[in-house]
A and B are shown apart, each in its own frame.
Chain A
Amino acid sequence: MMKKFLATLLSVSIVAGMIGCAGGSAQPAATAEPAAEEAKEEVKEEQEAEPEEEEEEAAEAEESSEEPITLRMAWWGSQTRHDITAEVIEMYEKENPNVKIEYEFYDFDSYFTKLKTLVASDQVWDIFQLGGNFPEYIDKIYYINEFIDSGVVDTSKISDAYLKITQDTEGNQIGLSNGLNTYGIAYDVDMFKEAGVPLPTDTWTWDDFADAAMKIHEHTGNFGSSGFTSSEFIAGCSTYIAQQGSVGENSFFNLELDGMGFEDAQMLTPYIEMRANLIKEGASPDAGAEMEITDIENDFLVTGEAAMTWVAVNQFPTIYDICAEEGRTLALATVPRVKSDGPSGTVIQSSQMLCVSQDSQYKEEAAKFISWFQNSVDCNNVLKGERGIPINDDVRTALEAEATDGQKEMYDYVSLVGTFETPEKINVLSPAGQDEVVDNYRNYIQQVVAGEITAEEAADKTYADAEKLFE
């Protein structure tokens, strides 16, 4: 009896085990996550879409000539962005009863994981959001030049300079920028004062930054600076390279995005050493603490456990408001420099853009939505520049008139960065495969913290990893 039972179990187990491991490790495990998220999204969508549908039907009866169209759209961001974007989508659906927009939203990493699976299956969302990493997805982007020429996309209030920031070198309009953006360091004014540390100036250096972080940590027990948010590699590591030498002499990747923009890996060493030291001393969160940060709204600066954090400035008004509710004041400082009279390394760039997908059945409708999203003052009164400072002149004027304190700080800051000397040609794009380089780079810093390798070795390894992208 027992023997038979066992024999059956074992034979089943072997078959199941083998199948499970071969197929399982590659496929189901991976799709489980996005699928679960998708399911959540769908439930949410359904709930929100229901009341809408009735109105839609009523409206459809009037203009029955137009065929119903369903557009799919997705973005990444924080909760605030999800809420306001959902709101403007409802507005658009009301104005255009034949259009229904199914939307999905993710955090940054999950967004790109999902996007990659959609690229593979040729099902990219009709309207999707991309940042400086668009070269990796260029095959899936439908250039909107023809829609601009035909007037579907209205660019009359957008200056050429702003159109250019989302064009490739051949003049193809990849998308329309959602806003201007640059990096900075958001800090808690009172925590600086409490620790008796002078407030950051426009020309402060990395040494000042590290000193401030250490002193604040010693005085308050808080983190001096928060962790490696998604901004850090570009705002910190890559900017650090651009700050060395004369303006425009060095950059992390070269202008053509086909090689490195600097030659000596050791140029990274002081920066890596500083980051590792701050973590070692407890002035910056270690890997475990960092895992607790899921998006900018629960960053340690916002929760009151850190005095500084890296931000893309479009994120600033949101966290400013959250902290203001608790009676805390945040301010923006420039990214520290290598030398106080050296290049700033920072540039004003597009925060992200909405693109039309090659896979879309309704490219024109998608472009129409993007045009509305960029140009409608009503729409942007809801969006409130959360994706960056709008590029449409009318919208910008309207928003500036009603700017909150946090937004004013952001506008001032962007104007300030605009006055910094910048190289004639800049490259703010990321090559395909950069994710792995960034992940490894973070691990190398942790290895320096653990004493497994030296900062010099970490710099060499990071350089070698980055170089490998272009083989």
Chain B
Amino acid sequence: MTQKAERTSGFYSFINNTNTVGYVFAFPFIFGFICFSFIPIVTSFYYSFTDYSMGSKTLTYVGFKNFIDLFSDEVFIKSLGITLKYVLLSVPLKLAFALLVAFVLTRKSSMVTLYRSLYYVPSLVGGSVAVALVWKQLFARKGLFNVVLSDMGLKTINWFGDQKLALYPLILMTVWQFGSSMIIFAAGLKEIPSTYYEAARIDGANGRQTFFKITLPCLSPIILYNLVMQTIQAFMSFTQAFVITQGGPNNGTLLYALNVYNQAFKYNHMGYACAMSWFMLVVMSIITLVIFKSSKFWVFSEGGDE
């Protein structure tokens, strides 16, 4: 009897309500999102209209000054250019590499899992400071690459001393971390019905034709997904530039995120750095939008028609 009473009471039905249960379980995320993402995002928006700096803690409203100043800031414009170059080179290379390896590793062999794990390792350790330090050593004046070059009788290359070259080791490092896109590609490849390939083989298509006529079109939605994800990630790259080159030589590797960091924490222009972050948000939104709009021309949908 008492049980029945409880069951009808407001509290009991409240606690058993699907919505309540949902919110309770989602609470850790909601809490984290509000504290560590939502509040900082809102505050950074507010700061971007002020001259806030961490050192002196003064705060004056300056309107759009920070955003206007961006366009007369040489270093900012250079870093924006460098970042675009970095994204344009590293993302396609990384995706091509990931697709190639994923494609090679679709064959049925007991070693495939092992290889897949091996190729995934760089992505696991990739963002870390340790790997960046190793990279710095590899490309140093007397690092492994130059030792090999001089042993072969070739001229050594001053990778980090030349502002035109310095970005490439960083791009290479990003491309090397192709693991996560590779796994997604591998999953996508498995989804392509084998009947398509059988039919093509019967029609006499060779390997190249099946790849370009069947594999690529069927995989195009996955490519779109990877492209968007990797582009966003590439715009946010920070560790390599911070650890390996500190943005040098002559700001030749000053990636956007590193520039934001310098302005915020090294030069004490937090407000300006926030404005830079918001500008980047706009740039990235536009680029993502362009990718999505362009997708209807190259993404093949199995539903077929619209």
Contacts and interface: CB of A to CB of B under 8 A. Distances in A.
Interface of A: 1-3, 5-6, 9-10, 13-14, 17-27, 29-30, 32-33, 36, 109, 112-113, 116-117, 119-120, 136-137, 139, 286-292, 432-433, 435-436, 439-440, 443, 446-447, 450, 452
Interface string B42-86: 001000000000111100000000000000000100000000000
B141 interface: yes
A120 B239 CA distance: 23
A209 B266 CA distance: 32
Interface string B259-287: 01110111110000110111011001100
Given A33-B242, A136-B55, A289-B161, A25 B248 contact: no
A2 B267 CA distance: 48
B161 A287 contact: yes
A25 B256 contact: yes
B201 to A, nearest CB: 22
Nearest to B245: A291
Contacts of A286: 158, 161-162, 249
B75 A440 contact: yes
B228 A13 contact: yes
B75 to A, nearest CB: 7
A10 B161 CA distance: 40
A27 B251 contact: no
Contact of A23 (B44, B162, B262): B44
Given A17-B232, A25-B276, 19 more contacts: A3-B221, A3-B302, A14-B288, A17-B229, A19-B37, A19-B41, A21-B284, A25-B256, A26-B44, A30-B260, A33-B242, A112-B266, A120-B54, A287-B160, A432-B268, A435-B267, A436-B267, A440-B75, A446-B250
A287 B249 CA distance: 5
B36 A23 contact: yes
A3 B40 contact: no
A288 B160 contact: yes
B189 to A, nearest CB: 12
Contact of B278 (A22, A119, A435, A440): A22
A248 B84 CA distance: 48
A109 B268 CA distance: 13
A410 to B, nearest CB: 31
A23 B37 contact: yes
Contacts of A447: 250
Given A1-B191, A9-B225, A435-B267, A21 B235 contact: yes
Contacts of A26: 40, 44, 260, 264, 273-274, 277
Contacts of B267: 433, 435-436
A29 B261 contact: yes
Interface in B26-40: 33, 36-37, 40
Contacts of A452: 250
B122 to A, nearest CB: 19
A290 B160 CA distance: 9
B54 A20 contact: no
The dominant DSSP class at the A interface is: helix
A354 B33 CA distance: 40
A271 to B, nearest CB: 18
Contacts of B236: 20-21, 24-25, 29
A287 B280 CA distance: 28
Nearest to B246: A291
Given A3-B221, A17-B228, A25-B236, A116 B256 contact: no
B54 A25 contact: no
Contacts of B167: none
Contacts of A9: 225
Contacts of B37: 19, 23
6 contacts: A25-B277, A26-B273, A33-B129, A113-B265, A117-B265, A439-B266
Contacts of A3: 221, 301-303
Contacts of A18: 281, 285
Interface in B141-184: 141, 158-163, 166
Contact of B141 (A2, A6, A292, A440): A292
B132 to A, nearest CB: 11
Interface centre among A1, A120, A440 (most CB of B within 10 A): A120
A272 B37 CA distance: 45
Given A19-B37, A23-B36, A30-B265, A2 B260 contact: no
A443 B253 CA distance: 12
Interface centre among B161, B221, B276 (most CB of A within 10 A): B161
A5 B261 CA distance: 36
B140 interface: yes
B186 interface: no
A125 B107 CA distance: 59
B160 A291 contact: yes
B264 A30 contact: yes
A168 B249 CA distance: 38
B129 A433 contact: no
B268 A433 contact: yes
Given A26-B273, A113-B266, A6 B225 contact: yes
Nearest to A7: B221
B257 interface: yes
A22 B41 contact: yes
Given A19-B41, A26-B44, A116 B228 contact: no
B221 A2 contact: yes
Contact of B268 (A6, A25, A116): A116
Closest 8 interchain pairs by CB?
A288-B161, A287-B249, A288-B160, A120-B54, A446-B250, A17-B232, A286-B161, A436-B267
A22 B277 contact: yes
A452 B281 CA distance: 31
A38 B248 CA distance: 25
A291 B303 contact: no
B40 A27 contact: yes
Interface in B282-306: 284-285, 288, 301-303
Contacts of B232: 13, 17, 20-21
Contacts of A32: 239
B73 to A, nearest CB: 11
A20 B162 CA distance: 32
Contacts of B249: 286-288, 446
